[in-house]
């Protein structure tokens, strides 16, 4: 187990180096943008993620931005916490599995792929203005720490007419953040409403590995 943690920690350091020059909405050079749209309760959500090969050749997939269509009915029942981030990561995993590749042929070969989301986020509310739709945005604060899942990916060519991408979980790991440990702040903040523009402080989200 200690060996696995050391390996994943090393991979995580490489991963951070790959993304250190990117903004909240831009992928690093050599990485590709991808978007996932889905509905969660009353909320319409778009996830922006980046994927590509890191310096060590390992495939990287990271959530960099989450946009929620402005809707007070959605916000009233939405908790942006560990369970929510786990749902977002699952949407990214499914999207990448279905749309990525082709990967090396199963069962002999596979790509090792690291899926990651940050532990420290701020929430920005932008209400509708002059007929333009508003939104809520989850912004990666850029601090250390993260929730990592390591998968093996391959493409099954048993049916040449319908190749199928397959994904197998190897392990997962939480990298703590000493910089950002606070709990989810009150939203809207005191003195604000859903109809004013505001941004919360950065706060930490605990990893939630809901894996059978």
Query: For 121-147, what is each residue's pLDDT tens digit?
Result: 999 999 998 677 899 999 988 887 899
DSSP output for 133-194: --EEEEEE---S-EEEEEEEEEEE-SSTTS-EEEEEEEEEEEE--SS--PPPPPSSPTT--T
User: What token pair was written down for 8?
Assistant: 């994943």
Q: Is-contact 133 91, C-beta < 8 A?
A: no
Q: What confidence category does residue 23 fall into, taking pLDDT thresholds of 50, 70 and 90?
A: very low
Q: What average pLDDT does the segment 192-211 reach? A: 86
In the predicted model, is pLDDT for residue 174 greater than 50? yes
| Reported pTM | 0.82
DSSP β-ladder status, 43-53 and 120-126: unpaired
Q: Is-contact 140 24, C-beta < 8 A?
A: yes
In the predicted model, is pLDDT for residue 43 greater than 90? yes
Q: How far apart are the first and last CA of the chain?
A: 19
Output the pLDDT for position 211. 55
Q: What average pLDDT does the segment 82-93 reach? A: 92
In the predicted model, is pLDDT for residue 72 greater than 50? yes
Under DSSP, the state recorded for 21 is T
Q: What average pLDDT does the segment 159-184 reach? A: 85
Closest CA to 92 of 56, 65, 110, 124: 65
Output the pLDDT for position 138. 93
| Alpha helices (H) along the chain | 2-19, 72-76, 82-99
Distance CA 113, CA 167 (A): 9
Q: Is-contact 181 147, C-beta < 8 A?
A: no
Sign of CA dihedral 199, 202, 203, 209: positive
Distance of CA 91 to the CA centre of its chain: 9
């Amino acid at each position: 187990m200690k060996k696995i943690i050391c390996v994943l920690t090393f991979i995580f350091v490489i991963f951070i180096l790959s993304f250190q020059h990117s903004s909240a909405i831009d992928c690093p050079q050599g990485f590709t943008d991808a978007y996932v749209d889905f509905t969660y309760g009353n909320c319409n959500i778009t996830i922006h993620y980046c994927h590509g090969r890191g310096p060590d050749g390992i495939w990287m997939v990271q959530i960099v931005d989450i946009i929620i269509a402005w809707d007070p009915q959605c916000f009233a029942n939405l908790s942006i916490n560990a369970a929510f981030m786990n749902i977002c990561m699952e949407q990214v995993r499914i999207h990448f599995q279905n749309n990525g590749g082709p990967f090396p042929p199963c069962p002999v070969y596979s790509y090792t792929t690291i899926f990651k989301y940050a532990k420290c986020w701020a929430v920005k509310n932008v209400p509708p203005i002059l007929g333009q739709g508003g939104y809520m945005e989850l912004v990666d604060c850029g601090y250390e720490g993260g929730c990592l899942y390591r998968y093996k990916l391959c493409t099954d060519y048993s049916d040449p007419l319908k190749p199928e991408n397959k994904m197998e979980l190897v392990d997962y790991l939480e990298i703590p953040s000493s910089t950002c440990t606070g709990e989810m702040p009150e939203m809207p903040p005191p003195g604000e409403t859903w109809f004013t523009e505001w941004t919360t402080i950065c706060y930490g989200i605990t990893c939630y590995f809901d894996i059978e």
